[in-house]
Amino acid sequence: MTENKLSLALSFISAEPEAAAKILEQSAVADVAQFMADLPLDYQYQVLEHLLPGYAARLCVQMGDKSAAAILSDLDAPAIARIIRLMPKDRAEGILAILPKKRRESSNLLLKYSIRFVGAWMQPYTHTIASEMSVAEALHYLQHELEGHLSEYVYIIDRDAKLEGRVSFFRLLKSNHGVKVSDIMERAIPHVSINMLLENALELPQWRETDTLAVIDKNRRLHGLIRHADIRNALTQSKDHQYLQSTNANLVTGLTGVYGKTLLVLFNNLLNVIEPDLKS
């Protein structure tokens, strides 16, 4: 691609990453892998984030373990697991081995569970504090730990990782710094079993109180959080699971007729329209 066409391609991906992904899904995986190799890593990530998991899995396999791991490491654990579980076992293991430790451990936790269960779709490793901490100790501990946190609450565990309670960020900030966390926490916590079927979890009465539930095992150990929206999306993806595992890399839809076989065709067409205006 010329410099002008590459610039246009990057602009299109940046402005419309979902549309770009849909167009690329109509092309052979090998062609898209070659195209992706020419893009800066940030743009590769934007495309991969919006691809169907089945297509993303085939693309990662085509790109090679190191290139795939570099992009996947910017996704959250549930997104990584959705893609990894659709790869051949040897390639999945190869890519997981290269991922940063935290991403690898979080993804492996999710991959232990069937896609029919809550455990496969939760956000693992919720940032927690110990019940014996003072408010001052808790605030100091949390100051660098809250990036990407899903909830307005901080969850409280004992030293065996068993869920004991939760406290809102607001109350934690407003409380006397010498007070123990156990003295200000709520003890009745909306939760769901890590081994519950998605269909059953969707109908829990707890959703009337909150849009986020703690995920615990039979011993009340906290494993993560899950949102109502996560379960709805999971049910949709579970129904499509067989379709997503298809090895057909050249799916044909109406988009092909409109946009051509590759994203490059679209960019070329756009450039042909835009260039005369730029010169005038």
Distances (CA, A) of 102 to 40, 68, 121, 127: 24, 17, 17, 13
pLDDT at 192 over 60: yes
pLDDT-based confidence at residue 215 (cuts at 50, 70, 90): very high
pLDDT at 253 over 70: no
Phi-psi region of 148 (alpha: psi -120 to 50; beta: other; left: phi over 0): left
pLDDT-based confidence at residue 38 (cuts at 50, 70, 90): confident
pLDDT-based confidence at residue 259 (cuts at 50, 70, 90): very low
Of the candidate CATH numbers 3.20.190.10, 3.10.580.10, 3.40.50.1220, 1.10.1660.10, the domain formed by 123-238 belongs to 3.10.580.10
| pLDDT at residue 261, as a whole number | 45
Query: Taking residues 42-56, what's their average pLDDT?
Result: 88
Helix, strand or coil, per DSSP, at residue 54: helix
| Stretch(es) of the chain classified as CATH 1.25.60 | 3-112+250-279
Distance CA 23, CA 112 (A): 33
pTM for the model stands at 0.64
Query: Do the Cβ atoms of 204 and 192 come closer than 8 Å?
Result: yes
Position with higher pLDDT, 128 vs 164: 164
Distance CA 50, CA 57 (A): 12
Of the candidate CATH numbers 3.40.50, 1.25.60, 1.10.1740, 1.10.238, the domain formed by 3-112+250-279 belongs to 1.25.60
DSSP letter string over 151-208? SSEEEEE-TT-BEEEEEEHHHHHHS-TTSBHHHH-B----EEETT-BHHHHHT-GGGG
| pLDDT at residue 255, as a whole number | 36
Identity of the amino acid at 278: L
As given in the structure block, the two tokens for residue 63 are 């790109």
Query: Taking residues 105-131, what's their average pLDDT?
Result: 86
Query: Do the Cβ atoms of 266 and 11 come closer than 8 Å?
Result: no
pLDDT-based confidence at residue 67 (cuts at 50, 70, 90): very high
Distance CA 47, CA 13 (A): 7
Closest CA to 178 of 134, 142, 137, 132: 134
| Stretch(es) of the chain classified as CATH 3.10.580.10 | 123-238
Query: Do the Cβ atoms of 211 and 231 come closer than 8 Å?
Result: no
66-75, 90-99, 101-110, 239-248: lowest mean pLDDT where?
239-248
pLDDT at 150 over 50: yes
Closest CA to 227 of 153, 133, 139, 140: 153
Closest CA to 229 of 212, 208, 204, 206: 212
Q: Taken in order 86, 89, 90, 95, is the CA torsion positive or negative?
A: positive
**What are the backbone dihedrals phi and psi of residue 165, each rounded to the nearest 5 degrees, phi first?**
175, -170
pLDDT-based confidence at residue 2 (cuts at 50, 70, 90): low
Distance CA 51, CA 41 (A): 16
Phi-psi region of 178 (alpha: psi -120 to 50; beta: other; left: phi over 0): alpha
